[in-house]
Amino acid sequence: MATYLACMLPFVTRESHSVHDTETIAGQLARSMRGGEVIALHGDMGAGKTQFTRGLVAGLGGDPHAVSSPTFVLLNVYDTPALKVFHLDAYRVHGPEDFDAIGFGELLEQSNGVIVIEWPSRVEAILPKKRIDVRITTLSPRVRRIDISEA
C-alpha cells in the first residue's frame, strides 16, 4: 500500500470529535489509495460510515455532497479525478448470495477503483481476505474512535 497506509497500518486509532474530523481522517486514508482497495466500514447505525465515505470521496478530489447512504439502492458510484468509488451497503441484504447477485464478484475482479462496503459483517463470507477494515465506535454523541487496520 502507499505511503500513508505504510505509516499507519497494520493498525491505527484516531479519535474524531466532529463530522469534519471523521471526513479528514478518511481523506488522509484516501490519499494513499491507488485502486483495487476494498474498505470494510464497521459501525453501529449513525456511527459515521457514510460520513467516512464522504471524506474518502473528497480526499480523492470528488464531490462529497454527492455521497449518500446506499441502504436502499445497495450501490452508489462516485467518479472522482483520482479513482472511481463504489459504495455498497449490505444492511438490507439477506446474505452473501444477495450481494453476489448484484455483481459484487465481478466488481471485485474488474475494479481498479476503491470499493467501500457498509455493514460488511452481513457478507463476510464473500469479502476479500486482503482489505482495509475501518471500525467506527461511538464513544459519546460527538466522539468516535476510528480504528483502521489491514485484514
Q: Where are the domains of the chain?
A: 3-146
Please report the pLDDT score of residue 99 as a whole number: 81
Please report the pLDDT score of residue 9 as a whole number: 55
pTM: 0.89
Within the chain, which residues score under 70 in pLDDT?
1-10
Give, as one character, the DSSP assignment of residue 2.
Answer: -
Domain 3-146 has CATH 3.40.50.1000: no
Contact 114, 85 (CB under 8 A): yes
Please report the pLDDT score of residue 107 as a whole number: 87
Please report the pLDDT score of residue 4 as a whole number: 42
* Helices 19-30 + 49-59 axis angle, to 10: 50
- Cα–Cα distance, 151 to 10 (Å, whole number): 8
Give the Å distances, CA to CA, from 71 to 5, 12, 100, 149.
Answer: 28, 28, 16, 24
Please report the pLDDT score of residue 53 as a whole number: 97
Please report the pLDDT score of residue 121 as a whole number: 93
Contact 105, 36 (CB under 8 A): no
